[in-house]
Amino acid sequence: MLTEAQRIIIRDICSIQFKSLSDILIKPDLGDDEEGESYQSIMDELGFGRKDFDEELINTIGEFKRVQKDPELIYELDELDLVVFKHILHNFRHKWEDKYPNAMRNLWDKLFIWTMSNEIHNQN
């Protein structure tokens, strides 16, 4: 069970991720990596195209929209999306740590406990 403050934090994080993914989706050119290789070339080498990439973005945006509407669904994010969620929680903590310090700490605890119990469950 999430507190109202935790729900606010989760909704904010989903909004940040939604904006970020939407910005990528509308870019006609994804640019280059640190070594100067175009992301389009990398996708071609890996055997998928921009359409496949965009479909995955749309699916991920949909998942974050679902969680934004119902923060209790945070535990249904796949492993990679949950890692991204935690990354945003950490990097944008200044937005919430003064206003919701207990909610932040308890949300981290809940995510840790859920992750550990999920790992234990998947080992058996």
Q: pLDDT of 54-104, one tens digit each?
A: 999 999 999 999 999 999 999 999 989 999 999 999 999 999 999 999 999
Q: What is the pTM of this model?
A: 0.87
> Which residue intervals of 73-100 are DSSP H helices?
79-91
Q: Is the dihedral of CA 67, 71, 74, 80 positive or negative?
A: positive
Domain ranges of the chain: 4-123
Residue 124 pLDDT class (50, 70, 90 cuts): low
Given a cut of 80, whether residue 118 has pLDDT beyond it is: no
For residue 57, give Cα distances in angstroms to 8, 14, 60, 114: 24, 14, 5, 25
Q: What is the pLDDT of residue 22?
A: 94
Which two structure tokens, joined as six digits, stand for 89?
């929680």
d(CA 54, CA 26): 9
Exposure class string for 80-113: b at 16+ Cβ within 10 A, else e:
ebbebbbebbeeeeebbeeebeebbeebeebbee
- Residue 97 contacts residue 104 (beta carbons within 8 Å): yes
Q: pLDDT of 31-50, one tens digit each?
A: 999 999 999 999 999 999 99
Given a cut of 70, whether residue 23 has pLDDT beyond it is: yes
Q: What is the pLDDT of residue 115?
A: 86
